[in-house]
């Protein structure tokens, strides 16, 4: 594998107490807006949270994880069909974006923009971290940021100057994710082989031990991403999509 | 705005008749796998379509758009909780990822990977184009690629060596998408101002004229992304999520 920024990068969860110039953030977002977007509709909005009081309240909804509380700012990237639909209306056209497919389209646009912001910010020497918790409390975050109809938060990114650069964690071998022409049918033995290095990664062995669990997989199913939690978030998130007019009534 | 690859890029729909080395594609995907992923679960798979017969059939599902038919290959990036769930099962853990939230998590992972592939490929001198049609015929694409339970196609990218570099299209001013602390309440007048440059972009004026439409917005609502089509795709896509076990039964 070629050695460059892409092969060497890591997410950053510890930040220096140093402020990012407003002009740099704007420049990063403006360049990121050149990322691909469906039909050039730009179905996204970015909300910057920098004000200490607002940031404390937003961080609460991200369970006060250090990546949120210690960062200089948080960007909340939203799937947004509101602005585009309003433009249609004031132009005398009838928008038809109050449906699930339109949400998926806007979500895709928003995540593409989010990842472009991450890449440009990191190449400018900043550190970033996605806060996966954005969907857990999407309803409360939506209230905090005063999001209107057809606007739903889908990606949160904390940004700051890195305090230190952590060692990279493990990844699966490329064979695990790459398929030629059709989806390959792996045997149980194949799956075991593909996840072997992950299970033998020293930090993962330690993590299993500390938690007294029988396997690394059970760390995910029992502690980090359990079924009951996923089902609860599913219900909450579908309710929010309904409230924001993205599901047919 | 700083001038660099990010500010200058465009999607490419016309390609040279020149093959991309297999090793380059693998290297791009391997570097892209260092992009952020939820809990390091890597909830994605990539299917390469290069075989001419398979590519012709896949292109049909993308309405034979030139970006698909003329490219060297097509990558279909899938939200994939199948591999991870199987690993949990053979490890004696009980996976809980047959729900909507898990689909959104995997979709986000997959789109982040897709955008990282696009960026790395373009920085290597290749041209790329997202085929937004991936969700339109996600069921047929799923059959062609033989996708199992908990695997859904969410991003398709055509790749090849660019035939020429087209001029950049317009984008909204950054003010349209950037909000400070809370979502700004724009007046109709604000929206008109923010979309003015888009409406006055020469190609858009021409497009409205050719189609004898009263406004640019009506090109979107009446021709490109009409309500009835969006609602039909919503139904089809929700059916596929159900069939692939991502919706609670």
What's the gap in Å between the CA of B135 and the closest CA on chain A?
A: 8
Spell out the residues 6+ positions from residue A206 whose beta carbon is closer than 8 angstroms to its own.
none
Residues 110-149 of A with CB under 8 A from B: 111-112, 114-116, 118-120, 129-130, 132, 135, 145-148
Residues of A in contact with B78 (CB under 8 A): 183
- Residues A179, B148 contacting (CB under 8 angstroms): no
What are the percentages of helix, strand and coil residues in chain A, rounded to 5? 50, 15, 35
Question: Cα separations (Å) of A75 from A71, A113, B51, B168, B178?
Answer: 11, 12, 42, 27, 10
Tokens 């990322």 belong to A35
Cβ within 8 Å, pair A178-B97: no
Residues 151-170 of B with CB under 8 A from A: 151, 154-155, 168-170
| CB half-sphere exposure, B85, CA atoms < 13 A | 21
Cβ within 8 Å, pair A176-B94: no
- Vertex B82 angle, CA B78 and B87, to 5°: 135
- Residues B113, B35 contacting (CB under 8 angstroms): yes
Cross-strand pairs, B77: B46, B155
Could you report the per-residue pLDDT of A192-238, keeping only the tens digit for each? 999 999 999 999 999 999 999 999 999 999 999 999 999 999 999 99
Residues 177-206 of B with CB under 8 A from A: 177-183, 185-186, 188, 191-192, 194-195
ipTM for the assembly:
0.98
Helix (H, G, I), strand (E, B) or coil at A62: coil
Among the partner residues A35, A151, A234, nearest to B183 by beta-carbon distance: A151
Among the partner residues A7, A34, A99, nearest to B6 by beta-carbon distance: A34
Residues of B in contact with A228 (CB under 8 A): 96
Residue B249 contacts A where some CB pair is shorter than 8 Å: no
Tokens of B34: 């260092």
What's the gap in Å between the CA of A69 and the closest CA on chain B?
A: 16
Q: Which of A46, A59, A230, A238 to mutate to test the interface with B (most CBs of B within 10 A)?
A: A230
Extended beta strands in A82-132, E state: 127-130
pLDDT per position in chain B (249 positions), as tens?
Answer: 999 999 999 999 999 999 999 999 999 999 999 999 999 999 999 999 999 999 999 999 999 999 999 999 999 999 999 999 999 999 999 999 999 999 999 999 999 999 999 999 999 999 999 999 999 999 999 999 999 999 999 999 999 999 999 999 999 999 999 999 999 999 999 999 999 999 999 999 999 999 999 999 999 999 999 999 999 999 999 999 999 999 976
Q: How many CB atoms lie within 10 A of CB B210?
A: 9
Tokens of A224: 């980090």
Q: Which of A221, A231, A247 to mutate to test the interface with B (most CBs of B within 10 A)?
A: A221
Enumerate domains of chain B plus CATH numbers. Answer: 5-166 (3.40.109.10)
pLDDT per position in chain A (249 positions), as tens?
Answer: 999 999 999 999 999 999 999 999 999 999 999 999 999 999 999 999 999 999 999 999 999 999 999 999 999 999 999 999 999 999 999 999 999 999 999 999 999 999 999 999 999 999 999 999 999 999 999 999 999 999 999 999 999 999 999 999 999 999 999 999 999 999 999 999 999 999 999 999 999 999 999 999 999 999 999 999 999 999 999 999 999 999 976
Closest alpha carbon to B225 in A109, A85, A150, A35: A85
């Amino acid at each position: 594998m070629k050695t460059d920024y892409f092969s060497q990068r890591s997410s950053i969860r510890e930040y220096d107490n140093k402020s990012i110039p407003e002009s740099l953030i704007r420049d990063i977002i403006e360049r990121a807006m050149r990322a691909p977007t469906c039909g050039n509709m730009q179905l996204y909005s970015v909300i910057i949270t920098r004000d200490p009081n607002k940031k404390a309240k937003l961080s609460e909804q991200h369970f006060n994880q250090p990546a949120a509380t210690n960062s200089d700012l948080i960007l909340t990237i939203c799937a947004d069909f509101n602005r585009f639909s309003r433009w249609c209306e004031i132009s005398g056209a009838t928008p038809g974006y109050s449906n699930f497919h339109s949400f998926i389209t806007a979500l895709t646009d928003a995540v593409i923009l989010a990842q472009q912001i991450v890449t440009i910010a990191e190449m400018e020497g900043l550190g970033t971290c996605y806060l996966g918790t954005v969907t857990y409390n999407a309803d409360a975050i939506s209230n905090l940021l005063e999001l209107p109809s057809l606007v739903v938060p889908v990606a949160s990114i904390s940004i700051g100057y890195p305090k230190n650069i952590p060692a990279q964690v493990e990844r699966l071998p490329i064979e695990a994710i790459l398929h030629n022409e059709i989806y390959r049918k792996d045997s149980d033995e194949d799956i075991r082989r593909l996840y072997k290095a992950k299970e033998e990664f020293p930090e993962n062995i330690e993590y299993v031990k500390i938690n007294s669990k029988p396997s690394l997989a059970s760390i995910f199913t029992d502690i980090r991403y359990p079924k009951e939690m996923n089902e609860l978030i599913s219900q909450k998130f579908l309710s929010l999509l309904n409230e924001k007019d993205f599901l047919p009534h």
